[in-house]
Amino acid sequence: YNRDYESIAVISTAPPGNHYQESELSGFGHLVLKDEGDAITFDIPEQGNAKTIYYTSYAKGFQITQEMYKDDLFKNFQKLPQKLAKSAAVKPDVVFFDTIFNNGFSSTTSSGQFIFDIDHTQLKTGAARSNEPSSGSSLSETSLRAAWEHYWDLEDEAGLPITLTPDIMAIPPELTWVAEQLRQSGLITGSANNDINVVNPSNGVVQWKPFVSRFLTDANAWFLLAKERDCRLYWKENAEMESGDDFYTGNALFKVTMRFSVFAMDWKGMYGNPGPS
């Protein structure tokens, strides 16, 4: 099974303990003018909210009666463990895309804010920054250009410019054809104009590739993601399947368990457009 989240998430083995905690921390802003003999101006970083992440356990099992197992002449029941393994393989994709993207415009993170929002507050400057448009719009050359301009205008928590490199546009299957038109057309799509299609990677202005995922459930929402994105999946316990017989009934028991956490620590490497409302 090809896991979609592996192409987008930062994957790591969880550290010891039942939770993980990380704090936001600003930089220091621009240097200030120092005349001869003047004292150096010292500064301290601003510390933001401490984000605490807990790990969630997932499990499922099935059982086959002793009689059914013995009467299964055609070994149909031997297929069931593979089906349970498929359920386990799909679960991280469902949780990852629901947590980061499908609910990213409406569900708060551990810091109490949406992942995609219009008023992320910079720690040092207090300025409000956005990683979504003020109003959603369909995927087009114009809306994709606005997404790129978002990255060109990014600042860190102290107001210094930062450089992030968008490389993936994550889309649901319904937007496949639109994305391919934008990626392949040399001229403005659906127009007799001779202007070039500036979001076509072959024109050299921007570089990106589409990533289509069935786990993106909104047919209109799309996301431009930077290489430096900070959406994570931490494995506490990888999927493990076990089987055994129940002494009292003789039934064959099968179960699979896993434990992990999905979260985003920094919004800056992700831009989302919810599409038209």
Task: Kindly report, residue by residue over 220-267, the tens digit of the pLDDT.
Answer: 999 999 999 999 999 999 999 999 999 999 898 999 999 999 999 899
Decide if 156 contacts 123 (C-beta within 8 A).
Answer: no
Q: Three-class SS of residue 229? A: coil
Q: How far is CA 67 from CA 71, 75, 93, 106, 127, in A?
A: 6, 13, 36, 50, 68
Distance between CA atoms of 229 and 151, rounded to whole angstroms? 12
- 193 pLDDT tier (thresholds 50, 70, 90): low
Decide if 199 contacts 141 (C-beta within 8 A).
Answer: yes
In this structure, are strands 128-129 and 166-171 parallel, antiparallel, or unpaired? unpaired
Amino acid occupying residue 65? T
Distance between CA atoms of 159 and 26, rounded to whole angstroms? 9
Which bin fits 208, alpha (ψ -120 to 50), beta or left (φ > 0)? beta
Q: How far is CA 70 from CA 25, 74, 75, 102, 252, in A?
A: 62, 11, 10, 45, 11
Decide if 98 contacts 263 (C-beta within 8 A).
Answer: no
Distance between CA atoms of 165 and 155, rounded to whole angstroms? 14
- 73 pLDDT tier (thresholds 50, 70, 90): low
Give CA angle at 159 (158, 164), nearest 5°.
Answer: 105
Decide if 55 contacts 232 (C-beta within 8 A).
Answer: no
- 139-181 pLDDT per residue, tens: 999 999 999 999 999 999 999 999 999 999 999 999 999 999 9
* 157-163-165-166 Cα dihedral, nearest 10 degrees: 50
Distance between CA atoms of 264 and 17, rounded to whole angstroms? 19
pLDDT for 109: 57
Decide if 221 contacts 101 (C-beta within 8 A).
Answer: yes
Amino acid occupying residue 221? A
Element (H, E) at 92: helix 80-97
Distance between CA atoms of 147 and 141, rounded to whole angstroms? 10
Distance between CA atoms of 6 and 232, rounded to whole angstroms? 10
pLDDT of 108 > 70? The answer is no
Expressed in percent and rounded to 5, the helix, strand and coil fractions of the chain are 25, 30, 45
Decide if 228 contacts 266 (C-beta within 8 A).
Answer: no
- 74 pLDDT tier (thresholds 50, 70, 90): low
